[in-house]
Amino acid sequence: MKSRILRNIMVVAAMFAVTASNAWAQNEPIIFVHGYTGSTSNFNTMVNRFTSDGYPSAKLYRFGYKSTTDSNKTSAGALKNFVATVRKNNGNETVSIVAHSNGGLVSRWYRAKLGGTADMRRFVSLGTPHKGTQSAYSCYDPACYEMRPNSTFLNELAGKGCDRSLWSANDGVIIPAENAKCGSSTQTANVSHNSLLTDASVYQQTRDQLK
């Protein structure tokens, strides 16, 4: 009797796992946008966690842009074109975007100024200087100027284009750390700026915010 009950439990658990996997497979494409001086490889750990949890790898995309030479407005235009291609290749499904640091500003401009809201179901930023960061005074190129508090770029956004934001009190790059708040904000574990990309608990929170 006990063995039969155990077998039934195992069957139900297996069915649940399949159902969960299928639920993942029904989700829209996710586009990952790196930060300033970053690259598409920055999201390797997070993408691998998504696929390990059953998300189809064919639905996970990474957008690269010239963060140290182009303005965020120019990069947002490139992101708009990238999203259009992704949607075309996926039956015109809406996408979700997960962006780190300055990538969140690129995504916000696209969302608020270039019609991106209609293309996106969810936008999650990780450690993005939504209200600017003091550390941007240490570099001198278009994106740096735009990341400075009260920059013309940020004032033009005027708080628009936000959705979900994750921030860390121990960020160290976004100064003050609370400037990473925008829209519905959630504090993560007290990890460093780049650890937002690799920390397991931040990954779980990112998944939760994509629901």
Q: Is residue 4 part of a domain?
A: no
pLDDT at 120 over 50: yes
- Cα separation, 53 vs 124, in Å, equals 19
Q: How many independent structural domains does the chain possess?
A: 1
pLDDT at 1 over 80: no
pLDDT at 15 over 90: no
Q: Is residue 10 part of a domain?
A: no
Segment 135-161 shows an average pLDDT of: 97
Containing structural domain, residue 35: 28-209
- Cα separation, 105 vs 192, in Å, equals 19
Q: Is residue 111 a contact partner of residue 138, using CB atoms and an 8 Å limit?
A: no
Q: SS3 of 135, please?
A: helix
Q: Is residue 18 part of a domain?
A: no
Q: Is residue 151 part of a domain?
A: yes
User: Rounded mean pLDDT of the chain?
Assistant: 91
Instruction: Give the residue from 115, 123, 134 showing the smallest Cα distance to 176.
Output: 134
Residue 14 has a pLDDT of: 43
CA atoms within 13 A on the CB side of 49: 14
Peptide bond into 176 cis (omega under 30): yes
Segment 159-173 shows an average pLDDT of: 97
Q: Is residue 11 part of a domain?
A: no
Residue 27 has a pLDDT of: 76
Q: Is residue 8 part of a domain?
A: no
pLDDT at 19 over 60: no
Per-residue pLDDT tens digits for 62-88: 999 999 999 999 999 999 999 999 999
Q: Is residue 122 part of a domain?
A: yes
- % of residues, the chain, pLDDT over 90: 86
Q: Is residue 12 part of a domain?
A: no
Residue 176 has a pLDDT of: 98
Which CATH number is 50's domain given? 3.40.50.1820
Quickly state the pLDDT bin for 2 (edges 50, 70, 90).
very low
Quickly state the pLDDT bin for 141 (edges 50, 70, 90).
very high
Per-residue pLDDT tens digits for 84-118: 999 999 999 999 999 999 999 999 999 999 999 99
Residue 178 has a pLDDT of: 98
pLDDT at 145 over 80: yes
Of 199 and 9, the one with more pLDDT? 199
For the whole model, what pTM was predicted? 0.88
